[in-house]
Amino acid sequence: MSELQKIPDKPLRKGYTTGACATACVKSAMLGLVTQKEQCKVTIVLPIGEEATFYLKNIQITKNSSSSTTIKDAGDDPDVTHLAEITATVELNKSKEVKFIRGEGVGLVTLPGLEIEVGEPAINPVPRKMMKTVIHKVLADHNLEECGVAITISVKDGEKLAKRTLNSRLGILHGISILGTSGIVTPFSAASYIASIRQGVDVAIANNQEELLINSGARSEKMLRNLFPEIKETACIHYGNWIRETFERIAESPEIHTVNMGIMLGKAAKLAEGNLNTHSGKTTWNKEFIAQLAKESGYSDEVSDKILSLNMAGRLREIFIFAQQEKFYQTLLKYCYKHCHRIAPKIELNLYLINNDQTHIKYNK
Protein backbone atom coordinates (compact mmCIF):
# COMPACT_ATOMS: atom_id res chain seq x y z
CA MET A 1 0.00 0.00 0.00
CA SER A 2 1.27 3.45 -0.86
CA GLU A 3 2.47 5.86 1.82
CA LEU A 4 -0.19 7.97 3.51
CA GLN A 5 -0.49 11.37 1.89
CA LYS A 6 -1.38 14.82 3.14
CA ILE A 7 -4.97 15.86 2.40
CA PRO A 8 -5.06 18.86 0.01
CA ASP A 9 -6.64 22.03 1.36
CA LYS A 10 -9.24 22.43 -1.40
CA PRO A 11 -12.63 21.05 -2.46
CA LEU A 12 -12.10 17.43 -3.49
CA ARG A 13 -13.74 15.69 -6.43
CA LYS A 14 -15.25 12.24 -5.91
CA GLY A 15 -14.66 9.33 -8.26
CA TYR A 16 -15.92 5.83 -8.97
CA THR A 17 -14.82 2.43 -7.69
CA THR A 18 -13.41 -0.38 -9.79
CA GLY A 19 -16.69 -2.20 -9.15
CA ALA A 20 -18.76 0.63 -10.63
CA CYS A 21 -16.44 0.86 -13.63
CA ALA A 22 -16.61 -2.89 -14.25
CA THR A 23 -20.41 -2.78 -14.02
CA ALA A 24 -20.57 -0.02 -16.64
CA CYS A 25 -18.35 -2.10 -18.91
CA VAL A 26 -20.59 -5.12 -18.40
CA LYS A 27 -23.70 -3.11 -19.28
CA SER A 28 -22.10 -1.70 -22.43
CA ALA A 29 -20.80 -5.09 -23.51
CA MET A 30 -24.05 -6.88 -22.77
CA LEU A 31 -26.20 -4.35 -24.60
CA GLY A 32 -23.73 -4.42 -27.48
CA LEU A 33 -23.97 -8.20 -27.70
CA VAL A 34 -27.76 -8.42 -27.76
CA THR A 35 -28.26 -5.41 -30.07
CA GLN A 36 -25.07 -5.83 -32.13
CA LYS A 37 -24.57 -2.08 -31.79
CA GLU A 38 -21.80 -0.24 -29.96
CA GLN A 39 -22.81 1.30 -26.63
CA CYS A 40 -20.33 4.13 -26.08
CA LYS A 41 -22.18 5.68 -23.15
CA VAL A 42 -24.13 3.93 -20.38
CA THR A 43 -25.74 4.91 -17.10
CA ILE A 44 -25.81 2.58 -14.11
CA VAL A 45 -27.43 2.76 -10.68
CA LEU A 46 -24.90 2.73 -7.86
CA PRO A 47 -25.51 0.82 -4.59
CA ILE A 48 -26.23 4.13 -2.84
CA GLY A 49 -29.10 4.77 -5.27
CA GLU A 50 -27.42 7.44 -7.40
CA GLU A 51 -27.01 7.20 -11.15
CA ALA A 52 -23.61 7.47 -12.79
CA THR A 53 -22.75 7.78 -16.48
CA PHE A 54 -19.66 6.20 -18.00
CA TYR A 55 -18.03 6.48 -21.41
CA LEU A 56 -16.66 3.36 -23.07
CA LYS A 57 -13.95 2.70 -25.64
CA ASN A 58 -12.27 -0.20 -27.47
CA ILE A 59 -15.68 -1.79 -28.04
CA GLN A 60 -15.55 -5.10 -29.89
CA ILE A 61 -18.68 -7.04 -30.87
CA THR A 62 -19.09 -10.44 -32.50
CA LYS A 63 -22.12 -12.72 -32.68
CA ASN A 64 -20.90 -14.66 -29.65
CA SER A 65 -19.16 -12.12 -27.45
CA SER A 66 -18.74 -8.43 -26.75
CA SER A 67 -16.25 -6.35 -24.79
CA SER A 68 -16.06 -2.75 -23.59
CA THR A 69 -13.42 -0.74 -21.74
CA THR A 70 -13.54 2.33 -19.51
CA ILE A 71 -10.91 4.41 -17.75
CA LYS A 72 -11.32 4.56 -14.00
CA ASP A 73 -11.65 8.06 -12.59
CA ALA A 74 -10.92 8.07 -8.84
CA GLY A 75 -11.51 11.82 -8.57
CA ASP A 76 -8.96 13.51 -6.32
CA ASP A 77 -8.24 10.36 -4.32
CA PRO A 78 -4.62 9.10 -4.55
CA ASP A 79 -5.96 5.72 -5.59
CA VAL A 80 -3.57 3.13 -7.00
CA THR A 81 -6.12 2.28 -9.71
CA HIS A 82 -6.80 5.87 -10.83
CA LEU A 83 -6.81 5.92 -14.67
CA ALA A 84 -6.66 2.12 -14.87
CA GLU A 85 -8.19 0.54 -17.98
CA ILE A 86 -10.95 -1.85 -16.96
CA THR A 87 -12.49 -4.20 -19.52
CA ALA A 88 -15.49 -6.52 -19.42
CA THR A 89 -16.10 -9.29 -21.94
CA VAL A 90 -19.45 -11.10 -21.97
CA GLU A 91 -20.50 -14.31 -23.68
CA LEU A 92 -23.94 -15.92 -23.81
CA ASN A 93 -24.34 -19.60 -23.01
CA LYS A 94 -27.05 -22.08 -22.05
CA SER A 95 -26.18 -22.47 -18.37
CA LYS A 96 -28.85 -20.03 -17.07
CA GLU A 97 -26.17 -18.78 -14.64
CA VAL A 98 -23.92 -15.74 -14.40
CA LYS A 99 -20.31 -16.86 -14.04
CA PHE A 100 -17.33 -14.60 -13.27
CA ILE A 101 -14.00 -15.35 -14.95
CA ARG A 102 -10.69 -13.83 -13.97
CA GLY A 103 -9.14 -11.89 -16.80
CA GLU A 104 -5.58 -10.57 -16.98
CA GLY A 105 -4.77 -8.12 -14.21
CA VAL A 106 -7.53 -9.23 -11.84
CA GLY A 107 -6.45 -10.99 -8.67
CA LEU A 108 -6.98 -14.64 -7.78
CA VAL A 109 -8.07 -15.49 -4.23
CA THR A 110 -5.66 -18.08 -2.81
CA LEU A 111 -6.20 -17.87 0.96
CA PRO A 112 -9.31 -18.36 3.11
CA GLY A 113 -10.69 -15.56 5.24
CA LEU A 114 -12.04 -13.21 2.58
CA GLU A 115 -15.62 -12.81 1.41
CA ILE A 116 -14.75 -14.59 -1.84
CA GLU A 117 -14.00 -18.31 -2.02
CA VAL A 118 -10.50 -19.58 -2.74
CA GLY A 119 -9.99 -20.06 -6.48
CA GLU A 120 -12.39 -17.27 -7.44
CA PRO A 121 -11.47 -13.99 -9.14
CA ALA A 122 -11.06 -11.16 -6.64
CA ILE A 123 -14.35 -9.48 -7.44
CA ASN A 124 -16.07 -8.53 -4.21
CA PRO A 125 -19.72 -9.32 -3.40
CA VAL A 126 -21.21 -5.87 -4.05
CA PRO A 127 -19.66 -5.47 -7.53
CA ARG A 128 -20.76 -9.02 -8.34
CA LYS A 129 -24.31 -8.13 -7.35
CA MET A 130 -24.19 -4.93 -9.41
CA MET A 131 -23.05 -6.81 -12.50
CA LYS A 132 -25.59 -9.58 -12.05
CA THR A 133 -28.39 -7.01 -11.73
CA VAL A 134 -27.34 -5.41 -15.03
CA ILE A 135 -27.11 -8.80 -16.76
CA HIS A 136 -30.53 -9.97 -15.57
CA LYS A 137 -32.13 -6.67 -16.64
CA VAL A 138 -30.69 -6.86 -20.16
CA LEU A 139 -31.66 -10.53 -20.50
CA ALA A 140 -35.20 -9.80 -19.35
CA ASP A 141 -35.59 -6.80 -21.66
CA HIS A 142 -34.60 -8.93 -24.66
CA ASN A 143 -36.47 -12.13 -23.77
CA LEU A 144 -33.26 -14.04 -23.10
CA GLU A 145 -33.99 -15.23 -19.56
CA GLU A 146 -33.11 -18.80 -20.54
CA CYS A 147 -29.52 -17.82 -21.27
CA GLY A 148 -26.50 -17.74 -19.00
CA VAL A 149 -23.64 -15.27 -19.22
CA ALA A 150 -19.88 -15.57 -18.65
CA ILE A 151 -18.30 -12.30 -17.52
CA THR A 152 -14.56 -11.82 -17.81
CA ILE A 153 -13.13 -8.76 -16.07
CA SER A 154 -9.59 -7.67 -16.87
CA VAL A 155 -7.41 -4.69 -15.91
CA LYS A 156 -4.53 -3.45 -18.02
CA ASP A 157 -1.29 -3.66 -16.00
CA GLY A 158 -3.33 -4.90 -13.05
CA GLU A 159 -0.60 -7.23 -11.82
CA LYS A 160 1.85 -4.32 -11.79
CA LEU A 161 -0.64 -2.09 -9.96
CA ALA A 162 -1.27 -4.81 -7.38
CA LYS A 163 2.34 -4.59 -6.22
CA ARG A 164 1.45 -1.19 -4.73
CA THR A 165 -1.32 -2.72 -2.64
CA LEU A 166 -1.52 -5.27 0.19
CA ASN A 167 -3.23 -7.85 -2.03
CA SER A 168 -0.45 -10.42 -1.92
CA ARG A 169 -0.48 -10.35 1.87
CA LEU A 170 -4.19 -11.13 1.79
CA GLY A 171 -3.58 -14.04 -0.57
CA ILE A 172 -4.83 -12.19 -3.64
CA LEU A 173 -2.32 -12.89 -6.40
CA HIS A 174 -1.69 -11.79 -10.00
CA GLY A 175 -3.77 -8.61 -9.97
CA ILE A 176 -5.96 -6.06 -8.26
CA SER A 177 -9.33 -6.54 -6.61
CA ILE A 178 -12.60 -5.26 -8.05
CA LEU A 179 -13.99 -3.36 -5.08
CA GLY A 180 -16.63 -0.96 -3.86
CA THR A 181 -19.61 -1.00 -1.54
CA SER A 182 -21.11 2.36 -2.52
CA GLY A 183 -19.75 2.75 -6.04
CA ILE A 184 -18.23 6.08 -5.03
CA VAL A 185 -14.61 6.85 -4.17
CA THR A 186 -14.51 9.53 -1.48
CA PRO A 187 -11.13 11.29 -1.67
CA PHE A 188 -8.80 10.44 1.21
CA SER A 189 -11.50 8.38 2.90
CA ALA A 190 -10.36 6.09 5.70
CA ALA A 191 -12.92 3.47 4.72
CA SER A 192 -10.75 1.50 2.29
CA TYR A 193 -7.74 1.45 4.60
CA ILE A 194 -9.83 0.35 7.58
CA ALA A 195 -11.41 -2.35 5.41
CA SER A 196 -7.93 -3.63 4.55
CA ILE A 197 -7.08 -3.76 8.27
CA ARG A 198 -10.16 -5.85 9.00
CA GLN A 199 -9.45 -8.11 6.02
CA GLY A 200 -5.88 -8.58 7.19
CA VAL A 201 -7.02 -9.75 10.62
CA ASP A 202 -9.62 -12.03 9.04
CA VAL A 203 -7.03 -13.63 6.76
CA ALA A 204 -4.64 -14.14 9.68
CA ILE A 205 -7.37 -15.91 11.65
CA ALA A 206 -8.45 -18.05 8.71
CA ASN A 207 -4.85 -19.18 8.34
CA ASN A 208 -4.59 -20.16 12.00
CA GLN A 209 -2.39 -17.25 13.11
CA GLU A 210 -2.68 -16.47 16.83
CA GLU A 211 0.08 -13.85 16.95
CA LEU A 212 0.14 -10.63 14.93
CA LEU A 213 2.77 -8.07 13.99
CA ILE A 214 1.13 -4.67 13.56
CA ASN A 215 2.95 -1.62 12.23
CA SER A 216 2.17 1.78 10.78
CA GLY A 217 3.88 0.87 7.52
CA ALA A 218 6.73 -0.84 5.74
CA ARG A 219 9.62 0.80 7.61
CA SER A 220 8.57 -0.29 11.07
CA GLU A 221 7.51 -3.70 9.79
CA LYS A 222 10.93 -4.37 8.34
CA MET A 223 12.53 -3.98 11.76
CA LEU A 224 9.89 -5.94 13.61
CA ARG A 225 10.03 -8.86 11.21
CA ASN A 226 13.74 -9.12 11.90
CA LEU A 227 12.82 -9.68 15.56
CA PHE A 228 10.12 -12.22 14.68
CA PRO A 229 11.35 -14.08 11.58
CA GLU A 230 9.03 -16.98 12.33
CA ILE A 231 5.89 -14.85 11.94
CA LYS A 232 4.28 -15.39 8.56
CA GLU A 233 3.41 -12.52 6.24
CA THR A 234 -0.29 -13.27 6.64
CA ALA A 235 0.04 -12.24 10.30
CA CYS A 236 1.45 -8.78 9.48
CA ILE A 237 -0.99 -5.86 9.54
CA HIS A 238 -0.44 -2.21 8.62
CA TYR A 239 -2.56 0.03 10.84
CA GLY A 240 -1.52 3.27 9.13
CA ASN A 241 -3.08 5.96 11.31
CA TRP A 242 -6.06 3.91 12.48
CA ILE A 243 -4.89 2.46 15.76
CA ARG A 244 -8.33 2.45 17.39
CA GLU A 245 -9.96 0.53 14.54
CA THR A 246 -7.11 -1.98 14.47
CA PHE A 247 -7.36 -2.80 18.16
CA GLU A 248 -11.16 -2.87 18.02
CA ARG A 249 -10.97 -5.55 15.31
CA ILE A 250 -8.38 -7.47 17.33
CA ALA A 251 -10.57 -7.23 20.44
CA GLU A 252 -13.40 -8.83 18.44
CA SER A 253 -11.15 -11.77 17.54
CA PRO A 254 -10.68 -14.30 20.37
CA GLU A 255 -8.42 -16.33 18.09
CA ILE A 256 -5.70 -13.66 18.42
CA HIS A 257 -3.70 -14.07 21.62
CA THR A 258 -0.58 -11.92 21.12
CA VAL A 259 0.08 -8.63 19.34
CA ASN A 260 3.55 -7.21 18.70
CA MET A 261 3.20 -3.54 17.80
CA GLY A 262 5.84 -1.37 16.18
CA ILE A 263 5.46 2.40 16.29
CA MET A 264 7.63 5.30 15.16
CA LEU A 265 8.39 8.19 17.48
CA GLY A 266 6.14 10.77 15.82
CA LYS A 267 3.06 8.56 16.10
CA ALA A 268 4.00 7.46 19.60
CA ALA A 269 4.05 11.10 20.74
CA LYS A 270 0.44 11.44 19.58
CA LEU A 271 -0.76 8.04 20.78
CA ALA A 272 0.65 8.59 24.27
CA GLU A 273 -1.84 11.42 24.77
CA GLY A 274 -4.70 9.19 23.64
CA ASN A 275 -4.90 10.16 19.97
CA LEU A 276 -5.86 6.88 18.34
CA ASN A 277 -6.04 8.43 14.87
CA THR A 278 -2.54 9.76 14.28
CA HIS A 279 -3.05 11.36 10.83
CA SER A 280 -1.33 14.75 10.60
CA GLY A 281 -4.58 16.22 9.31
CA LYS A 282 -6.38 15.09 12.46
CA THR A 283 -3.90 15.49 15.30
CA THR A 284 -0.59 17.12 16.10
CA TRP A 285 1.81 16.26 18.89
CA ASN A 286 1.24 18.19 22.11
CA LYS A 287 4.59 19.56 23.27
CA GLU A 288 3.19 20.51 26.67
CA PHE A 289 2.00 16.95 27.26
CA ILE A 290 5.36 15.48 26.20
CA ALA A 291 7.14 17.96 28.46
CA GLN A 292 5.04 16.65 31.35
CA LEU A 293 6.12 13.11 30.50
CA ALA A 294 9.71 14.24 30.77
CA LYS A 295 9.03 15.61 34.25
CA GLU A 296 7.29 12.37 35.18
CA SER A 297 10.43 10.57 34.06
CA GLY A 298 12.48 12.61 36.51
CA TYR A 299 13.83 15.32 34.23
CA SER A 300 14.20 18.97 35.19
CA ASP A 301 12.22 22.01 34.02
CA GLU A 302 15.21 22.90 31.87
CA VAL A 303 14.81 19.69 29.86
CA SER A 304 11.06 20.22 29.62
CA ASP A 305 11.68 23.70 28.25
CA LYS A 306 13.90 22.23 25.54
CA ILE A 307 10.98 20.05 24.44
CA LEU A 308 8.78 23.12 24.10
CA SER A 309 11.25 24.59 21.62
CA LEU A 310 11.14 21.59 19.26
CA ASN A 311 9.23 21.81 15.99
CA MET A 312 8.94 18.03 15.40
CA ALA A 313 8.46 15.05 17.70
CA GLY A 314 11.25 13.23 15.88
CA ARG A 315 13.71 15.73 17.32
CA LEU A 316 13.11 14.33 20.80
CA ARG A 317 16.10 12.12 19.98
CA GLU A 318 18.24 15.25 20.20
CA ILE A 319 17.34 15.50 23.90
CA PHE A 320 16.96 11.84 24.90
CA ILE A 321 19.39 9.15 23.79
CA PHE A 322 17.52 6.47 21.90
CA ALA A 323 18.31 3.55 24.20
CA GLN A 324 16.45 0.79 26.03
CA GLN A 325 17.26 2.15 29.49
CA GLU A 326 16.16 5.74 28.71
CA LYS A 327 13.36 6.52 31.21
CA PHE A 328 11.64 9.07 28.99
CA TYR A 329 10.94 6.55 26.22
CA GLN A 330 9.71 3.98 28.71
CA THR A 331 7.27 6.55 30.09
CA LEU A 332 6.15 7.43 26.57
CA LEU A 333 5.55 3.75 25.78
CA LYS A 334 3.72 3.26 29.08
CA TYR A 335 1.04 5.69 27.96
CA CYS A 336 0.89 4.23 24.45
CA TYR A 337 0.43 0.78 25.97
CA LYS A 338 -2.33 2.02 28.27
CA HIS A 339 -4.48 3.41 25.45
CA CYS A 340 -4.11 0.34 23.23
CA HIS A 341 -4.52 -2.25 25.98
CA ARG A 342 -7.68 -0.52 27.19
CA ILE A 343 -9.34 -1.39 23.85
CA ALA A 344 -8.12 -5.01 23.76
CA PRO A 345 -7.44 -5.93 27.40
CA LYS A 346 -7.33 -9.69 26.84
CA ILE A 347 -4.45 -9.46 24.38
CA GLU A 348 -0.81 -9.92 25.33
CA LEU A 349 0.59 -6.70 23.89
CA ASN A 350 4.29 -6.17 23.25
CA LEU A 351 5.23 -2.64 22.24
CA TYR A 352 8.33 -1.55 20.30
CA LEU A 353 9.40 2.04 19.64
CA ILE A 354 11.28 2.09 16.35
CA ASN A 355 13.97 4.52 15.27
CA ASN A 356 14.73 5.63 11.71
CA ASP A 357 17.93 3.56 11.75
CA GLN A 358 15.89 0.41 12.51
CA THR A 359 17.00 0.22 16.15
CA HIS A 360 14.25 -0.26 18.70
CA ILE A 361 13.22 0.11 22.33
CA LYS A 362 10.93 -2.48 23.88
CA TYR A 363 8.45 -1.38 26.51
CA ASN A 364 9.27 -2.93 29.87
CA LYS A 365 5.86 -3.80 31.28
Total residue count of the chain as it appears in this document: 365
pLDDT bucket at 360, cuts 50 / 70 / 90: very high
Judged against a pLDDT cut of 50, whether residue 171 lies above it is answered with yes
pLDDT band at 165; cut points 50, 70, 90: confident
- pLDDT for the residue numbered 184: 87
Single-letter code of the amino acid located at 336: C
**pLDDT tens digits, 225-251:** 999 999 999 999 999 889 999 999 999
Q: Please give, one letter per residue, the 3-state secondary structure of the chain.
A: CCCCCCCCCCCCCCEECHHHHHHHHHHHHHHHHHHCCCCCEEEEECCCCCEEEEECEEEEECCCEEEEEEECCCCCCCCCCCCCEEEEEEEEECCCCEEEEECCEECEECCCCCCCCCCCECECHHHHHHHHHHHHHHHHHCCCCCCEEEEEEEECCHHHHHCCCCHHHHCEECEECECCCCCEECCCCCHHHHHHHHHHHHHHHHCCCCEEEEECCHHHHHHHHHHCCCCCHHHEEECCCEHHHHHHHHHCCCCCCEEEEEEEHHHHHHHCCCCCECCCCCCCCCHHHHHHHHHHCCCCHHHHHHHHCCCCHHHHHHCCCCCCCCHHHHHHHHHHHHHHHHHCCCCEEEEEEECCCCCEEECCC
Phi and psi at residue 198, in whole multiples of 5°? Answer: -65, -40
Q: Which residues, in sequence order, are CB contacts of 129 under 8 Å at separation 6+?
A: none
330 HSE (CA, 13 A, CB side): 10
Q: How far is CA 321 from CA 271, 289, 355, in A?
A: 20, 19, 11
320 and 331 in contact (C-beta within 8 Å)? Answer: no
* Confidence label for 175 from pLDDT (cuts 50, 70 and 90): very high
Burial of 44 (0-12, 13-18, 19+ CB in 10 A): buried
The mean pLDDT value for 277-295 works out to 86
Which tens digits make up the pLDDT trace of 41-58? 999 999 999 999 999 999
Q: What does the alpha-carbon distance between residue 233 and residue 221 come to, in Å, rounded to a whole number?
A: 10
The residue ranges of every structural domain in the chain are 15-185, 191-362
Give the rounded percent of residues in the chain with a pLDDT score beyond 90.
Answer: 80
The CATH code of the domain at 15-185 is: 3.30.2110.10
pTM exceeds 0.85, yes or no: no
